[in-house]
A and B are shown apart, each in its own frame.
Chain A
Amino acid sequence: MTAGKELIVDRISKSFRGLQALSDVSLRVAPGEIVGLIGPNGAGKTTLFNIVSGFIPPDTGEIELGGQSLLGKKPHQICKMGMARTFQIVKPFGNLTVLENVAVGGFNRTIHPAGAEQASWSTLEFVGLSPKALTPARTLTTPDRKRLELARALATGPELLLLDEVMAGLNPTEKDEVIGLVKKIRERGTSVLIIEHAMRVIMGLCERIYVLDYGRLIAEGDPAAISHDPKVIEAYLGKEYAAAACQ
């Protein structure tokens, strides 16, 4: 479909009162790519998402989407430029219906209610939430809330989608469904940057993976290379395992 926009994150650093959350992190998401971002808890993955989507400013570094700098831009402006994100801790608009939730995203591309509503219905159909379209979002179960989070972001018509642990809390069947959705999203021409803890998901989905540990990139490569990288194993399991794995 669309050519897509390339995301370039160039040497981003961020510290919170002396705690170095990110140091010199660079990454790239090419159009049509699914890229994974993994790392142990507290590695700075979500901080990186918050910086890229405009919620917190970086101390140093540069971020570009399709050649345009994102620095100093507000989250809503970044969304208009074609980047949408989900939140790890889902944030449904509880008192609005599921349809209205998605329509907020749908209105990103049009001001006409009919157009936004139609886009919302097809997005709901796509993620399988249309039977619950008219119920208030606060009544949804956790898996459905995750789906809603995804549907809202998709309805904004993004060229790049940032997914922050959309599969946490889902059972294996549900995970497979979402994996299928993400693949379809990419087929439609949207590139994806995904944070995920479940290795099976990451390995099956991503072409390239970046590994963060204590705010630094410690590895980058395809899933096979990453899973054998001693530095990655060390970050996750400790030194003894890394040594054992290399023998």
Chain B
Amino acid sequence: MSAGADKKRYLGRSLGPRAWMCVLSGVVVLHFLPWFWPSVIHTMIMIFLFAIMGQGWNVLSGYAGQFSFGHSLFFGMGAYTSSLLYIKGGLTPWLGLPVAMALSALVGVFVGFLSFRYELKGPFFALIMLAFAEIFHIIAMGWEWVGGARGILIPLQGDVWTLMQFTSKRPFYFLSLWLTVGSLYLVWKMEGTRMGLYFQAAREDQDAAEALGVNSFRYRQIAMAISAAMTAAGGTVYAQYLLYIDPDTTFGVLNSVEIMLRPIIGGPGTVLGPLLGSLVLTPLSEVTRIALQAYSGAYLMFYGAILVAVIIFLPDGLMGLVQGAANRLRGRKS
């Protein structure tokens, strides 16, 4: 029983072939959804956008274990960078997207340099992120050149695909769907690499990781850059979709909560967690927001209640629930 001859690989195989078949068939079915059930397109777009941004949070906070309470920083960076480049410089958002991602990664690495150098963790790192998001929030509020408190209105030119502008919601649906699939694939691939494993090792025990050759500072910075870029991508598409951004809905604290709640409820540190969390939470937030319209902010109480319930009953998130069910099924078969 030589282990070397064992062809089967186990590293980074948290999702078996069967799980992938489920995901892939789901993606195929989703391609027909806009024709069968057009009324849910908007909700689906929001689900996907928050799944992408949640995935970004998941890389830094779920995998690398640096809990961020300020991911709206990168969301806002994504939304503002591409919008300003378009409004002030006429640059198409298709090019604004990579610029926004790179710029967010830079800001992330700067914040990371300040915090990881001193090995800030837990609540301290969370507060640093919150503080930086608030700094950008206040700057965006006070700076007239970037729209000030009124925000930015992106003029609609009609169906100009070169400017990422569409009068129909369908193109945004497919764009966000494919970005979601891309982010899923990326994180799944990452799990089996040295980088992905090093992220998790530094999260679990920094001293042990260092002793095994993990440069925890460098790998946290890499996680930060990937996380920031992913979240910014969601922000850019969000701005193009709604064509209007203001400081509160981008850099606001509430957005940080929205972004991190999905992976937390879905299962932090898992590939499918953010998508699963978004599938459950996004429709719920839309519905409660409409139902409780008269009491502004009341839907947040629902968030609080859900969060408390998940932390008490499902510490591993919905993925833990799914995993448990799958294990039981497998157990019954054998």
Q: Helix, strand, loop or mixed for chain B's interface?
A: loop
Contact A74 B215 (CB under 8 A): yes
Does A95 lie at the interface of the complex (its beta carbon under 8 Å from any beta carbon of B)? yes
Contact B194 A121 (CB under 8 A): no
Q: Which residues of B contact A116 (CB under 8 A)?
A: 11, 194
Closest to B209 in A: A104
Closest to A50 in B: B207
Say which residue of B6, B197, B213 sits within 8 Å of A76 (CB atoms): B213
Contact B3 A108 (CB under 8 A): no
Quick one: given A93-B205, A96-B200, are A152 and B212 in contact (CB under 8 Å)? yes
Stretch at the interface among A2-10, A122-130, A198-206: A122-130
Q: Least Cβ distance of B115 to chain A in Å?
A: 18
Q: Least Cβ distance of B201 to chain A in Å?
A: 4
Bound: A114/B209 CA distance, A: 20
Quick one: given A99-B11, A116-B11, A124-B3, are A74 and B201 in contact (CB under 8 Å)? no
Q: Which residues of A contact B208 (CB under 8 A)?
A: 87, 91-93, 152
Say which residue of B4, B6, B214 sits within 8 Å of A104 (CB atoms): B214
Q: Which residues of B contact A97 (CB under 8 A)?
A: 10
Q: How many A-B residue pairs have CB under 8 A?
A: 101
Does B211 lie at the interface of the complex (its beta carbon under 8 Å from any beta carbon of A)? yes
Contact B4 A76 (CB under 8 A): no
Contact A91 B198 (CB under 8 A): no
Closest to B208 in A: A91
Closest to A121 in B: B3
Quick one: given A91-B208, A107-B198, are A117 and B215 in contact (CB under 8 Å)? no
Say which residue of A85, A99, A107, A117 sits within 8 Å of B211 (CB atoms): A85
Quick one: given A76-B213, A104-B214, are A91 and B194 in contact (CB under 8 Å)? no
Does B210 lie at the interface of the complex (its beta carbon under 8 Å from any beta carbon of A)? yes
Q: Which residues of A contact B3 (CB under 8 A)?
A: 118, 121-122, 124-125, 130
Does A103 lie at the interface of the complex (its beta carbon under 8 Å from any beta carbon of B)? yes
Contact B210 A113 (CB under 8 A): no
Quick one: given A114-B9, A122-B3, A134-B10, are A104 and B201 in contact (CB under 8 Å)? yes
Quick one: given A118-B4, A121-B3, are A93 and B201 in contact (CB under 8 Å)? yes
Does A239 lie at the interface of the complex (its beta carbon under 8 Å from any beta carbon of B)? no
Does A44 lie at the interface of the complex (its beta carbon under 8 Å from any beta carbon of B)? no
Say which residue of B192, B198, B205, B269 sits within 8 Å of A113 (CB atoms): B192
Q: Interface size of B by Cβ–Cβ distance < 8 Å?
A: 27
Contact B4 A95 (CB under 8 A): no
Contact B210 A111 (CB under 8 A): no
Bound: A99/B14 CA distance, A: 13
Bound: A108/B208 CA distance, A: 13
Contact B204 A96 (CB under 8 A): yes
Bound: A53/B210 CA distance, A: 10
Does A209 lie at the interface of the complex (its beta carbon under 8 Å from any beta carbon of B)? no
Say which residue of A74, A121, A133, A155 sits within 8 Å of B210 (CB atoms): A74
Bound: A55/B12 CA distance, A: 30
Contact A79 B213 (CB under 8 A): yes
Q: Which of A55, A105, A107 has the most chain B CB within a 10 Å cutoff?
A: A107
Quick one: given A93-B201, A93-B205, A117-B11, are A156 and B194 in contact (CB under 8 Å)? no
Contact A113 B194 (CB under 8 A): yes
Does B193 lie at the interface of the complex (its beta carbon under 8 Å from any beta carbon of A)? yes
Does A12 lie at the interface of the complex (its beta carbon under 8 Å from any beta carbon of B)? no
Bound: A97/B208 CA distance, A: 15
The A-contacting residues of B in range 1-40, CB under 8 angstroms, are: 3-4, 6, 9-12
Query: Residues 165-177 of chain A: 1 if any B CB is under 8 Å from the residue's CB, otherwise 0?
Result: 0000000000000
Contact A107 B205 (CB under 8 A): no
Q: Which residues of A contact B192 (CB under 8 A)?
A: 113
Q: Least Cβ distance of B3 to chain A in Å?
A: 4
Contact A96 B210 (CB under 8 A): no
Quick one: given A93-B201, A93-B204, A95-B204, are A153 and B11 in contact (CB under 8 Å)? no
Q: Least Cβ distance of B198 to chain A in Å?
A: 7
Q: Least Cβ distance of A164 to chain B in Å?
A: 11
Bound: A151/B210 CA distance, A: 16
Does A80 lie at the interface of the complex (its beta carbon under 8 Å from any beta carbon of B)? yes
Bound: A186/B289 CA distance, A: 67
Contact B9 A76 (CB under 8 A): no
22 pairs from A and B in contact (CB 8 Å cutoff): A55-B207, A55-B211, A75-B207, A75-B210, A75-B211, A76-B210, A79-B212, A79-B213, A84-B211, A91-B205, A92-B205, A93-B208, A94-B204, A95-B204, A104-B212, A104-B214, A107-B198, A108-B212, A116-B194, A125-B3, A152-B208, A152-B212
| Nearest 6 CB-CB pairings of A with B | A121-B3, A93-B204, A91-B208, A79-B213, A108-B213, A75-B210
A interface with B by C-beta (< 8 Å)? 53, 55, 74-76, 79-80, 84-85, 87, 91-97, 99-100, 103-105, 107-108, 111, 113-114, 116-118, 121-122, 124-125, 130, 133-134, 152-153, 155-156
Given A84-B212, A113-B11, 19 more A-B residue pairs with CB atoms under 8 Å apart are A75-B210, A76-B215, A84-B211, A87-B211, A91-B208, A93-B200, A93-B209, A94-B204, A96-B201, A97-B10, A99-B10, A104-B209, A107-B197, A107-B213, A111-B194, A113-B194, A121-B4, A156-B212, A156-B213
